[in-house]
Chains A and B, each alone.
Chain A
Amino acid sequence: MTDTARAVSRAATPGAADRARSPRRGRLSATQWTGLGFIAPLVAFLAIFLMVPIGRGIVLSTQEWTIRSFVTGEAPFVGLRNYADVLTNPVFPQIAWQTFLFVTVSLVFQYVLGLTLAVFFARRFPLSTTLRSLILLPWLLPLVVSATTWRWMFNQDFGIINSLLGGADIGWLTDTSVSLWAVIIANIWLGIPFNMVLLYGGIQGISEGLYEAASLDGAGPWRKFFSITLPLLRPVSAVTLLLGLVYTIKVFDVIWVMTRGGPVNSSHILSTWAYQISFEADRDLGTGSAVAQLLVVVCLVFGFLYIRAQRKEAQS
């Protein structure tokens, strides 16, 4: 698992080696033509199912979309009006703030808990490998399945969570002041395995000798953690947090299954809000796409920071 994750993250960066190897001649050699033949289906697929939708999304955000448009697929051009509608919508600041809370709180807890587990499992003890792979299970389950389970656990009257809190009467999914925290808790739980896997891989890469030398110098476990593990883990931490951020801002299933962004928008983040505007309520795909474009900008900005961090890690 760890090896794949690392291989994948390494391989994902277009390396200098690839460029150096490819011939720089003007005309394509026979091998180059063969290569193009093999890669053509992928290029066609990416063009039709990635580039065209991205372009279409931008176009959509400038169109006035109505029920009729759902049948014909056509809608009149309205310029930047959808964007103006979104930015002046009184709910927008609230949902932007909720998105910020959802992402930062999720990331902080996922990272801290993931790191704690990674350090703990790096100690190697009987059953450690088995237990470590068991923790990956929540990561592989369909999100709808996990979210459904959390929804029942958070049930106000019959849920185990209120019961474990000594018969508390908290309306986790029905009270506007706590619904966001309910989805954040579920999302933290879902993200722990991912953080643990990447950070555990990073810890494995730290030389054993450093710890032995530190022990000889009389360093205790805390000292070793703060002076060796944490600083040397910085590149991996950067990659983990940035990738985690891109993944967290994309979250949809968990919130939709647990609360649908409700009650009264209290657990919406930008992605669920964009979806609701497009496919529920008014079925206003134009305005929904305008929200979606804001989301794309955020994802791409942090995505490029991620690529930079990853290159640094690969070089170190």
Chain B
Amino acid sequence: MRSGTRTWVDTTIGIAVCAVLLFPLYWMVNVSLTRPQDLLRPRPHLFPTDPTFDGYTAALSTQLPSLVTSMIIGVSTVALTLAISLPAAYAMSKLKTRATGPVLFLLLIAQMIPGVVLVMALFALYAQVGLINTYPGLVLANATASVPLAVIILRAFMLQIPDELIDAARIDGASSWRAFRSVVVPLSRNAVVTASLFSFLFAWADFLNARSLTQGNSIVPFTLALFRFIGAETTNWNAVMATAVIASVPAVVLLVVAQRYVAAGVTTGAVKD
């Protein structure tokens, strides 16, 4: 009985800790629902007593194009990342390429180099080849962050796929490419989903590349739009926070989905002995 009470004490503490840690997120939602005149007072209300959806209306009418832009960049980055990472992960797990060691080392370096450093050099390079202000330029720059992680996730997963499955396909006359496409990729579905989700989140959240490699209004993802929004003098903060809330939705949805996939485990039931 005593231990039963104690676990509920733990749960209560846990909920309180969570509430404190997630307070900024609550505040974002609260401000997005508050009327502008109520925002400009020294003691803000802790709850949206007179909720308004004007912020969301304003956000959707002005920020929708930027959200679409971010979506295009995110999806393209995922496609490029998978196109590069999937075959490479296959070579580095199942074909035992000798290049594996050196490439893994390069991937680690790629993860350590600060984005600020890369973007300066990319800016100089892009200026020479005309990639400033282009979607491919941004997508390629975003892929420098997502490719290393994707290769590492996919390779770790593929290492667990039993060689017998691939050997069986090869004995049936399948080429390496065929074995890759028809055996390895379908079996790696969970890792592909995980890698895609993280790649999407990286690109969706990118601010540095967008700010440095674009100019003017031709390509404005929501991160950049939000940044310009808060810089303006007469900013309507409930619209800013409404935009922030809308921009958070993919992260929330993807977290829920990713957790399921990550937990789905490794090649369960692929080989029965």
- Report which A residues bind B (CB closer than 8 A): 1, 3-4, 7-8, 10-14, 18-19, 21-23, 31-32, 34-39, 41-43, 45-46, 49-54, 56-57, 60, 70-73, 117, 120-121, 123, 125-128, 131, 133-138, 140-146, 148-153, 157-160, 163, 167, 189, 192, 246, 249-250, 252-253, 256-257, 271-272, 274-275, 278-279, 285, 288-289, 292-293, 295-296, 299-300, 303, 307
Contacts and interface: CB of A to CB of B under 8 A. Distances in A.
B87 A39 contact: yes
Q: Is the interface of A mostly helix, strand, loop or mixed?
A: helix
Q: Is the interface of B mostly helix, strand, loop or mixed?
A: helix
23 contacts: A8-B153, A23-B98, A35-B97, A37-B91, A38-B87, A38-B97, A50-B113, A52-B121, A53-B118, A54-B113, A57-B118, A60-B124, A73-B125, A120-B10, A127-B15, A143-B205, A145-B248, A148-B230, A149-B24, A163-B42, A289-B117, A292-B120, A303-B108
B18 A153 contact: no
Interface in B199-244: 201, 204-205, 207-208, 211-212, 223, 226-227, 230, 237, 240-241, 244
Interface string B110-134: 1011111110111111011000000
Contacts of B95: 31-32, 34-35, 38
Contacts of B141: 49
A136 B252 CA distance: 10
B165 interface: no
Nearest to A190: B24
A275 B116 contact: yes
B124 A285 contact: yes
A120 B226 contact: no
A275 B209 CA distance: 12
Interface residues of B, number: 101
Contacts of A19: 101
Interface centre among B28, B41, B100, B120 (most CB of A within 10 A): B120
Given A39-B88, A133-B259, A18 B96 contact: yes
B223 A73 contact: no
B101 A158 contact: no
Given A21-B96, A39-B97, A144-B207, 15 more contacts: A1-B262, A10-B156, A35-B99, A50-B144, A56-B121, A72-B127, A125-B7, A125-B11, A148-B240, A158-B42, A189-B21, A252-B114, A279-B123, A279-B211, A303-B109
A120 B18 CA distance: 12
Nearest to A162: B42
Interface centre among A37, A149, A160, A285 (most CB of B within 10 A): A149
A38 B90 contact: yes
Contact of A1 (B107, B230, B259): B259
Interface in B69-98: 83-85, 87-88, 90-92, 95-98
Nearest to B141: A49
B56 interface: no
A18 B96 CA distance: 7
Contacts of A7: 153, 156-157
B124 A56 contact: yes
A144 B10 contact: no
Given A39-B103, A285-B124, A292-B116, A157 B42 contact: yes
B39 interface: yes
B68 interface: no
Interface string B150-170: 011101110100000000000
Interface string B44-83: 1000000000000000000000000000000000000001
Contacts of A41: 83-84, 87-88
A140 B87 contact: no
A150 B106 contact: no
Given A134-B18, A158-B41, A42 B151 contact: yes
A12 B152 contact: yes
B1 interface: no
Nearest to A140: B251
Contacts of B17: 117, 120, 131, 135
Contacts of B42: 157-158, 163, 167
B273 to A, nearest CB: 23
B143 interface: yes
B19 to A, nearest CB: 10
